[in-house]
């Protein structure tokens, strides 16, 4: 392969890249969102400056992707933290766990999503919507919500999932020092809310050294939502460079 051909390739391995060259469209993306109150000091320990915290809240999410262009169906779980950046309210993506390697690799390499492998699931069990996350063979999260107890306004549902999202893009050099260290911003676009519901909910987080969701402990359940959508993820753009100083 000639040198000028290399730059036209997206990822390695060259002949079968880890992820496809597509802008994915998510069809029938199903959310279980539980917003809970946690300890302010715990949030301060993990939310990077210059992001600011108002209330000590966390959104635990489990998402079942019905179909995704280039990736197919998969499931994802994680934690997002409400923050402000230069007066704009949004969420900081703290951690995400997936059961699909191409989606994990592209999220990290082509974007800045804090994705690692895990085994999440979302299903209905005896009148409850259940979201779980296992890391290896160990259960680290169990969320339950009353199944479709109350209709949720579609505009309110769309507002929950379309807030600006902030993430860290960290790329080390070969000597271990930071080559890229940026705070980036993205958001969801082209949203079609197909159904949305609220209801009572519970959330249990279990301690695990490699999946430390419980480091942001559950003190009070604030709200819960079950949302079915179609959507597209916008490209990320840097908003703060940690190496500029």
With H, G, I as helix, E, B as strand and everything else as coil, classify residue 102: helix
Residues 6+ apart with CB under 8 A from 141: 60, 77, 131, 132, 133, 203, 204, 205, 206, 213
The residues annotated with a catalytic role in the active site are: 115
Dig out the tokens for 103 from the structure.
């989606």
Residues 6+ apart with CB under 8 A from 67: 26, 27, 28, 73
Dig out the tokens for 132 from the structure.
């779980």
CA distances 187 to 91, 103, 161, 191, 235, Å, are 10, 17, 9, 11, 8
With H, G, I as helix, E, B as strand and everything else as coil, classify residue 207: coil
The number of beta carbons lying within 10 Å of the beta carbon of residue 136 is 12
């Amino acid at each position: 392969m000639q040198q000028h051909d290399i730059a036209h390739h997206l990822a390695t391995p060259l002949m079968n890249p880890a992820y496809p060259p597509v802008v994915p469209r998510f069809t029938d993306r199903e959310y279980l969102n539980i917003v809970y109150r946690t300890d302010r000091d715990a949030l301060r320990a993990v939310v990077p400056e210059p992001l600011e915290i108002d209330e000590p809240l966390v959104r635990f999410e489990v998402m079942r992707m019905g179909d995704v262009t280039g990736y197919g169906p998969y499931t994802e779980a994680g934690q997002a933290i409400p923050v402000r950046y230069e007066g704009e309210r949004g969420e900081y993506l703290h951690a995400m766990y997936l059961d699909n390697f191409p989606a994990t690799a592209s999220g990290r390499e082509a974007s800045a999503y804090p994705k690692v492998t895990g085994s999440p699931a979302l299903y209905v069990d005896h009148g409850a919507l259940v979201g779980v996350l296992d890391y290896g063979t160990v259960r680290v999260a169990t969320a339950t919500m009353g199944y479709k107890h109350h209709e949720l306004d579609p505009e309110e549902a769309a507002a929950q999932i379309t807030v600006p999202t902030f993430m860290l893009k960290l790329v080390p050099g070969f000597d271990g020092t930071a080559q890229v260290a940026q705070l980036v911003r993205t958001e969801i676009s082209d949203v079609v809310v197909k159904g949305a519901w609220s209801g009572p909910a519970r959330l249990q987080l279990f301690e695990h050294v490699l999946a430390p969701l419980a480091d942001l402990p559950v003190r009070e359940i604030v709200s819960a939502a079950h949302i079915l959508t179609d959507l597209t993820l916008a490209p990320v753009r840097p908003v703060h460079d940690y190496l500029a100083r």
